[in-house]
Structure 1
Amino acid sequence: MQAPFQANRFWDDRYSEAEFVYGTQPNQFFAQALRSLQPGHLLLPAEGEGRNAVYAASQGWHVDAFDFSEEGRQKALRLAAQRGVSIGYELADLLTFDTQTRYDALALIYVHLAPAPRRDMLVRFAGLLKPGGTLILEGFHPRQIGNPSGGPNAPEFCYTVEELRAVFAEGFSIQQLNNESITLAEGAYHHGPAHVTRLIALKL
């Protein structure tokens, strides 16, 4: 895993590009999952340039988002202004983020960490959901390694069905959990054949 300073610099450099590097349209799985829910209060960790936050706000959600990249935050706020919606967006780190707020939904879209901090992250964020709240996750599966459509460069940074089933075995009703091959068309860095893991889980 990259050191925090190195990671911040990497993402600031990427998000400083003129184009929205993952596009301005929402992740398709996230958007589809959101359409089946009643709008409420949504948290989007590691939200980058804001494409999912802006979409959710346009669908009537009260959106809180965060990332550790100031460049990403600025682009997200510009996109929200262009689309005529309001989002809450703060600078924070995945490993230390905490809040007293409890959410109706939370989405982790391509949020990749090493195994130990990843499990801690999943457990912490699961705790931020209200009873009846929904967790939505899409991330790369280990079979993604070698595909040209982005993602980590080592399989241990990816999600498996077995890992997610174990993390959410208690206190959640798993509505969907699978891995599948898809074609990504999310800007310059998520483009082409991909293998992903998808989860929708309801907090009991």
Structure 2
Amino acid sequence: MKQYPAEFWNERFGHQEYIYGTAPNKFFKEQIDKLKPGSILLPAEGEGRNAIYAASLGWDVVAFDISEKGKEKALGLAAENQVSIHYKISDILEFQSDAQFDAIGFCYAHFPAEIRNQAHLHLMKFLKPDGIVIFEAFAKAQLGNASGGPKNEAMLFSIEEIKTEFPQLDFKLLKEGTIELSEGNHHQGIAEVIRFVGIK
């Protein structure tokens, strides 16, 4: 089931380099800059670049990932930027929180295909009514591009899959398109992505 287990990510994050950079994802930044700070959940947050940016704006940030090395680097980046984040180690379907959040940010959170729909439904339980989802991930047309992403087409997204897997959301923006990525050494070049902003 775990096509990308913790060992894979611990090895990938286990170097001094921040492999996706330390700056926030451009689309995430563009969207969160429009919002009044509240509470935000960031699944599969890796090395923490989006969590640290949100915290710098005054958001109460809860992030999680399966990688201990990712957490270590995220907390180091938080300390360097003099902000505080809450970072948990958890598998996606095992994540639990007593809180509900004003926003959830998905940034290249590609879960195994056989649990992806279940994972999205699980996470939506933690979003408040009228809460917002900010999402960017690779589209199916990304397969074969050198700019990053899973090599398994089933882990990539289509517009119809997004509509099916996020039935609770009213999409304010939902589009597939071509962008140029420049995020560390692992997201570089022309990429095919899907972006959306949705309200619960």
Distance 1:172 1:192 in 2: 31
Q: Render the CA deviation track for 1:44-69: whole Å, top value 9, x for unaligned.
A: 01110000000000011000001111
- Per the alignment, residue 188 of structure 1 pairs with 185
Distance 1:200 1:129 in 2: 14
- Per the alignment, residue 82 of structure 2 pairs with 84
Opposite residue 189 of structure 2, the aligned amino acid is: G
Q: Give the secondary structure class of the aligned counterpart of 1:95.
A: helix
Q: Give the secondary structure class of the aligned counterpart of 2:64.
A: strand
Structure 1 residue 116 displacement after superposition: 3.2
1:125 maps to 2:126: no
- Range that drifts further, 187-196 or 86-95: 86-95
TM-score calculated relative to the size of structure 1: 0.94
Q: Which runs of 5+ in 2 are unaligned?
A: none
C-alpha contact 1:150 1:191 (8 A) present in aligned 2:
yes
Structure 1 residue 113 displacement after superposition: 2.1
- Per the alignment, residue 197 of structure 1 pairs with 194
Structure 1 residue 7 displacement after superposition: 1.2
Structure 1 residue 122 displacement after superposition: 1.0
Opposite residue 125 of structure 2, the aligned amino acid is: G
RMSD of aligned alpha carbons: 1.2
Q: Give the secondary structure class of the aligned counterpart of 1:18.
A: coil
Opposite residue 94 of structure 2, the aligned amino acid is: T
- Per the alignment, residue 162 of structure 1 pairs with 160
Distance 2:142 2:190 in 1: 9
- Range that drifts further, 113-122 or 124-133: 113-122
Identical-pair percentage? 43
Question: Do the aligned partners of residues 114 and 69 (structure 1) sit closer, same or farther apart at CA in structure 2, a change above 3 Å counting?
Answer: closer
> Aligned match of 1:177 in 169, 174, 177?
174
Match runs of 1:97-116 below 5 Å: 97-116=95-114
> Structure 1 segments of 4 or more deviating over 6 A?
none
Distance 2:70 2:112 in 1: 22
Structure 1 residue 73 displacement after superposition: 0.4
Structure 1 residue 96 displacement after superposition: 1.5
Distance 1:74 1:38 in 2: 28
Q: Render the CA deviation track for 1:16-69: whole Å, top value 9, x for unaligned.
A: 111100000000111111011110000001110000000000011000001111
